[in-house]
Amino acid sequence: MTATIAMCDASRDGSTLGVNAAPTCALCGTALADGRQRYCSPAHRQRAFRLRHTAPLIVDDGRLRSELRRRGTLVAHIVYECSVCGERFVGQRRCPQDNVFCRALGLGGNCTDCDQPILLADLLELEVLP
């Protein structure tokens, strides 16, 4: 009779990291004592859970427009684009170079770094519906 040697699954032992790799906390990168741990403390485990389960940022465009309209500053926060030269303006409905009315692209403002007009939808990476 020949005896068969049972092969154990290495992934159940927590040794899937490799021979030289030391386990680290998934949140801060601190070295862990046990290979089965994912976080160094219960506080980091709770923080990681909260980060995974946060609701995405929702901007209500209609509500924002109505508030700006109520304040009388809606036109000052709209980005316009000239159909002739393609230049963008904030709060300026008419292109001074081509003397034509521009089309409204959406809510936005000037960039704080480069002073170029930027749309709110581009800044928050939102989809713009036609």
What are the structure tokens assigned to 67, written together? 């508030």
pLDDT exceeds cutoff 60 at 129? no
Please compute the mean of the pLDDT values over residues 110-123 and round it to a whole number.
Answer: 85
Q: Quickly count: other Cβ atoms within 10 Å of residue 49's Cβ.
A: 11
The reported pLDDT for the residue numbered 75 is: 86
Contact (Cβ atoms closer than 8 angstroms) between residue 98 and residue 82: yes
**For the residues 28-56, what does the mean pLDDT come to?**
87
